[in-house]
Structure 1
Amino acid sequence: MSAAPGRAPDRKPVLIVLHQELSTPGRVGRLLQERGHPLDVRRPRYGDPLPPTLAAHAGAVIFGGPMSANDPDAFLRREIDWIAVPLAERKPYLGLCLGARMLAKCCGASVQAHPEGRAEIGYYPLVPTEAGRGFAREIGQAWPSHVYHWHREGFTCPAGAEMLATGDDFPTQAIRVGPAAFGLQFHPEVTHAMLCRWTVRAAERLALPGAQDRVRQIEGRYMHDPQMVRWLDAFLDHWLALGDGASSA
C-alpha cells in the first residue's frame, strides 16, 4: 500500500491480531495506516502464525472478541504466551478489551467475571489515577471522560504494572506494563458502523445487567466520541514513538 501524503514510505507494519473471521481493526487500523504503517493482519484462531520477534514490526495490537482469556483453546494460550515477545523486546504493545485481559494474564494477574454478573456494554465513566494523570501530561491530551465498552469480564492490575485509569463495576480500566505495553478495557477502535453492527447482531447481550440499550449507546457516542478521537490520536503518536530504539533482541 502507498504511504499517506507527507508520511515516510518505509514505515514498519503494525501486527494486528483479530479473533473473528469478519473482524476489522476499525479506527485504530485506519489511524495507523494514515501514519504510514501497513497492517499485518493475522488471525491465529484460523491458523495464522505469530512472529517469533517484532524486529520487523513497529508494534502489535491484539483486539477483542467474544471468548474469555480463561478459555482452554490452544490459540488463546499461544497468544497469551506470545505477549512475552513485545514485553521482552520493549516494543509497543496495545491490548484492547480481550487483548488487555490477555496482557494481564500473561503478567500473572487474574481475569474474572463480575461477581454479580454485571456487564459493561455502552459508554461508562473513566477516572484516571495519579499515574494516569501523569500519562495524560506525557501525551499532551486528557483522557476521555466516558469510553465505549463491550465486555463481561475484568482483570486485576498485574504486579509491577501501573494502573492508569479506573471505573465502577470493573475497577481496572487501563494499565501500562513496562515502557511500551498498554492494556485498555475499553474499545477506542469502534466506529459508528461497528457500534450499529454489534448492537444489532448481539442485541441479546443488551439485556445483561448493567448494559445500556441501543438508543443510549448511540446518544453516548454523539456525546463522548469526539473526545475519544482526540485522545486516541495523541495516544497512537506517543505509542508508536515508544518503539524508537526498542531492543529487538
Structure 2
Amino acid sequence: MIEHWAVAEPDAGRRHLIAHGHDVRVVEPWRGETLPVLTGDEAGVMIMGGPQMVTDLAVYPYLSAECALIEQAMAKSVPLVGVCLGSQLIAHVLGASVDFNPEGRMAMGFYPLDVTSAGRDIFDGPLMALSGNQQGWTVPPGATMLSHGNPALTPNQAFRTGDTTIGFQFHPEVTRTILDQWQTEFAGLIGRSGTQSKSEQDDGFARHDAVLKAWYFDFLDRWFQTHLAT
C-alpha cells in the first residue's frame, strides 16, 4: 500500500485487509522510502491518495518511480487499485490526460456515482461517494468506464483496464477521523466552487458512509481473493 501523506490513522480499507489475513506492507516514498521491486506473487498493490498533483511530476520524483511500479504491476498481472491520486497516476501511465477542472472547481464532500452497464460487476448500483480532489482524468485509451460523477466537477469516477487494474477517483477508504483531518488540514479549500460545507460533509458521512464502506469491503474481498485464487 503506497501512501502519500501523514494520514491520521490506518484507513478503513487497510484495516479490513489486515483483519482478513492480508500482510499489508505500507510504503511511503514521500518520506524517502524505497518502492519494492514486484515479484509477481503479490496479492496486490494499492496506490492511495494525497495532496500531490500529477501535473507536478517533475517536483515529486518519487511519483515517477510510482509510475514505473504501476507499469511493473500491470506487466506482471499483479492486482492493482488506484484511489484518487493513485487512479490519476494509473491514468497517466495509460496515456490519459490528468489536469485541474477547467472551471477551477473541485470536489470535497459526498456526490452521486452513476454506474455504467460495464460497471455492474463492480458496483451493485448507484452510490453516494466521498470525493476530495482538484484534478481528474480523461478516459485512458482502451480502458472501460465503470462509473461517472458530477459532470461539472470530475465526471469520470472509475475505470478498469485489463483484468487486474482498476482506478477510483473517489475515496471509499476515509474514516471519520481521516475526514476530520481533511476538514482541519484542508480547511482553506472548503468554500471553493464545487465543495460542500463542513456540515454538509458531516451529514453526508452520517447518511452514506455505512453503505459506501459495505460496498468497498466487498469489493476488496472480491478483487484480491479472486486474483489470489487464480
The TM-score bracket by the shorter chain reads: over 0.9
Give the structure 2 partner of residue 145 of structure 1. Answer: 127
Contact persistence 2:54–2:99 (CA under 8 A)? no
Structure 2 residue 75 is the aligned partner of structure 1 residue 93: no
Task: Give yes or no for contact 2:111–2:128 (8 Å, CA) kept in 1.
Answer: yes
Match of 1:45 among 27, 30, 44: 30
Q: Which letter does structure 1 place at the counterpart of 2:107?
A: E
Aligned partner of 2:44 in structure 1 is 59
Q: Which has the higher mean CA deviation after the structures are superposed, 47-56 or 64-73?
A: 47-56
- Choose 196-205 or 118-127, whichever is displaced more: 196-205
CA distance in 2, matches of 1:24, 1:69: 24
Residue 20, structure 1, aligned to residue 10, structure 2 = no
- Tell me the distance in 1 between the aligned counterparts of 2:215 and 2:229: 24
Letter aligned with residue 124 of structure 1: Y
Please, which of 166, 173, 195 is the counterpart of residue 182 of structure 1? 166
Which residue does the alignment assign to 1:31? 16
Match of 1:124 in 2: 111
Do residues 161 (structure 1) and 143 (structure 2) align? yes
Q: Percent identity?
A: 35
What are the Cα deviations for residues 72-95 of structure 1, in whole angstroms up to 9, with x where unaligned? 121111111220111111111111
Q: 2:93 aligns with which of 85, 100, 106?
A: 106
The reply on whether 1:232 has 2:216 as its aligned counterpart is yes
Task: Report the Cα distance in structure 1 between the residues aligned to 2:204 and 2:50, rounded to whole angstroms.
Answer: 22
Letter in 2 for 1:75: Y
Q: Does 1:208 align with 2:192?
A: yes
Mind listing any 5+ residue stretches in structure 1 that lack a counterpart?
1-15, 137-141
Amino acid at match of 1:154: G
DSSP-derived class of the 2:220 partner: helix
Contact 1:18 1:62 in 2 (8 A): yes
Instruction: Name the structure 2 match of 1:74.
Output: 61
Structure 1-normalised TM-score? 0.86
Indicate conservation of the 8 Å contact 2:115/2:126, yes or no: no
TM-score, normalised relative to structure 2? 0.93
Q: Which amino acid aligns with 1:87?
A: M
Point out where structure 2 has 5 or more consecutive residues left out of the alignment: none
Q: 1:84 aligns with which of 71, 74, 96?
A: 71
Alpha-carbon displacement from aligned partner over 1:213-240 (angstroms, at most 9, x marks no partner): 1110010011111111210121011110
For the aligned residues, what is the CA RMSD? 1.5
Q: What amino acid maps onto 2:218 in structure 1? A: A
Give the AA of the match of 1:161: A
Alpha carbons of structure 1 residues 134 and 29: separation in structure 2 relative to 1, 3 Å: closer
SS in 2 for 1:101: helix
Q: 1:243 aligns with which of 217, 227, 230?
A: 227
The answer to whether the 8 A contact 1:90-1:243 is kept is no
